[in-house]
Structure 1
C-alpha cells in the first residue's frame, strides 16, 4: 500500500548520455544503470537535501522513489510512437499514486519529447520534469558517481523543482538543465558540447518555470495506448529548410513535398518568416490547403519567432500558411503530431493550432 504521506516520485530512464558508458558511448541497460542510480540518489539527494527541521518531521517531507525504464536507446533514434510508450508508463493504473516524475532522456530529442508531453498531458495532475546530461552520470570503470559530470546537478535541480511544487494540484511539464528550468514547449537544444545545452522561455507559475495544464484531460489511465502508438507511427510531417536557390527550384521542391501524401509541412524560412515570393509557390501552397495539408511557417533563427511586418513573409497567410509565432521547432513538430492524431479534419486542426499559438 503506497505511503500517502510521502511524495511519490517516479524516475523513468530512457537511455541517453546520462546513462552512457564505454567507448563509443552507449546507454547502459536499465538493470545495470538503475541500481547505480538508486545508490547515488540515496547518498547524494534524498538525505542531504533535508534540513534539520525536515529530518525531524520526515513524514512531511519524505520522498518515496520509484524507478522505471522504457526502451533504452540513443535519443537520436527516437520515433513518435515512443511517446505513446512514455505516456502509457506515466498513466499506468499501477502508478496512479505517482504524481511527480523525472524523465531521464537523451539530449538530441529531449525538447521534442518534453513538448509532446506538455501537449498530451493537458488537464492531468502529473508534474513532470524532463532532464538529461551532457556527460555520463557514472564513472565508466567503477560505475560510481562521476563528480565531473553535470548529471547529478541536473537531477538535483529536477528534484528540487518537484519538491517545491508538490503542494499544487495542477499538472505541468518543464525541462530542467544546468541549474535552470523552462516551459516545455519553449525549449530547444542550442549547443552540442557545452553544459548550457538548452535554452527556453521562463514562465512564472507556482514558483517554478513551467507550462500549466488547465484543460480537461484527453488521456486517462483507460486510454488505449496501443491504438495511440499505431496512430503516431503513421504521422507524416516534413520539414523544408529554405535556401538561396532559384525560385523555380524551390517551387519544384515544395511541390514534390506537398504532393507526397504529407499531412503537415514546417517551412523554415529566413528572419522573421520571409520566404521567396513566387506564383508557382503560391499555387502549390493553395493546392495543399485544399487537400488539408497543414503548413506552418517558422524561422531558421534560434530566437525571436516570426511576424508578418515584411512583405517577403506577409503573403504567406493568404496562401493558407499558419504562423508558429515564437514556438521553436521541437514544439511545432510535437504539437502538429498531437493535432494529427487527435483532430479528425483540417478545419479542426487549423482551429486548434490558432488556439495553441494565440
Structure 2
C-alpha cells in the first residue's frame, strides 16, 4: 500500500457548530475515525499542524506548512493537506513556488460542509485527494468535487456549491469517473530540478488592487509611504488603466522609479491580459509594469511575494515573471 501523510490545518472540514458559528474543533484522530473506509487502501499517518479557519492562515502559516511537507517528503509517497476553502487557492499557489521540484504529489483538499454533517462533501474530496497523492504525479494540487487542479491554477469561484474550485486557463490535472483517477500528463507542472533544500523566504509587503473607474492615483503614494515593495493590479479587460484626469500611468512610473514592483493582470477570470493591444497598456509597459498574462490573481500575488523574498533587483523580478516556474503562466504567451 502507498504510504500517505495527512496534514490537518482546520477549516470547514474539521469544524463543529458553536454559539458563535462553525469553528475548527476536530483533530486528525477525529477526522481519521470518519475516514476509515476512505483510507483503508493506504498506509496512513496523520499529523495535526494547525487548527484554524483558513481566513486566518497567513504567510507565517504558509511557511510552517511548507516546512511540514518538506520535512516529510522522503518518508511518504504523497501528502494530503486538509485546509479551509477560503484561502486554499493562495496556499496552493505559494506552496507551488516553495515546493517547486518536489518529487511526490502534495494535494490540498477540504469541504463546503463539515465532515460530521450528514450531507458533507468531505469524504468524496478526501477520497480524490488520496488517489491523487498515491498517483506519483509530482507537484502541488487541489482536489475538489472529483477534480484535481494544478495548485497555482486553482481559484475558488463558489461560496456554497460543492464544485467550489475551477482550474483557470489550464486543463484539469486529473479527473475521477467510473474508470478511476485519470491524470493528464500535459497539465502537470513543468520539469524542475529536484527539491533538495527548502527556501521559504517571501516578502509580505505586497498589495492587491482591483482597479475601479476613477480610482485615485494617490493610492500609490500611500503604498510607497507604507513601504510596500510590490503591488498587483487587476486591470480592466486585456489590461486597461485610465490616464485621463486621474493619471494612473504617471503614478505607476513614479512607483517603479521608487523601486516598487508592479504586476498587472486582468479582472477577467479567464483568458489573458496583453498590454501590447491598446494604447493604455502600451503606456503602462513603457513605465515598467510586469505583465501577468493568464495567471490567476492568487498566483500573481504569491509569486510576487516569493520573488521579492529573493531579490530586490527589478530586472530579476521581471525575469522571474517571464518564466513559468510551476505552470502558473502559459509559456507561449511570454
Q: What TM-score do you get using the length of structure 1 for normalisation?
A: 0.80
Identify the residue that residue 213 of structure 2 maps to in structure 1: 244
Indicate yes or no: 2:183 matched with 1:207: yes
- Give the paired residue count: 312
Please state whether the residue corresponding to 1:92 is helix, strand or coil: helix
Distance 1:179 1:203, change over 3 A: closer
Partner SS, residue 248 of structure 2: helix
Equivalent residues of 1:173, 1:211 under 8 A apart: no
Partner of 2:236: 270
Indicate the structure with greater helix content.
Answer: 1
1:1-358 → structure 2 map (5 Å cutoff): 6-23=1-18, 24-30=21-27, 34-42=28-36, 44-47=37-40, 63-92=42-71, 96-139=74-117, 146=118, 148-163=119-134, 165-166=135-136, 171-200=138-167, 201-203=170-172, 207-208=183-184, 211-212=188-189, 214-217=191-194, 220=197, 223=198, 228=200, 231-232=201-202, 235-245=204-214, 250-278=216-244, 280-308=247-275, 309-356=277-324, 357=329, 358=334
Structure 2: 5+ residue stretches without partners: 175-181
Unmatched 5+ stretches in structure 1: 1-5, 48-61, 140-145
**Contact 2:57–2:87 (CA under 8 A) maintained in structure 1:** yes
Q: Which structure has the bigger radius of gyration?
A: 1
CA drift at 1:92: 1.7
Q: How far off its partner does 1:255 sit?
A: 2.8
How much does 1:286 deviate? 1.8
Moved beyond 4 Å, runs of 4+: 203-206
What value does the CA root-mean-square deviation take over the aligned residues?
A: 2.3
Secondary structure of 1:124's match?
coil
Quote the Cα distance in structure 1 between the aligned partners of 2:114 and 2:315: 46
Kept in 2, the 8 Å contact 1:258–1:265? The answer is no
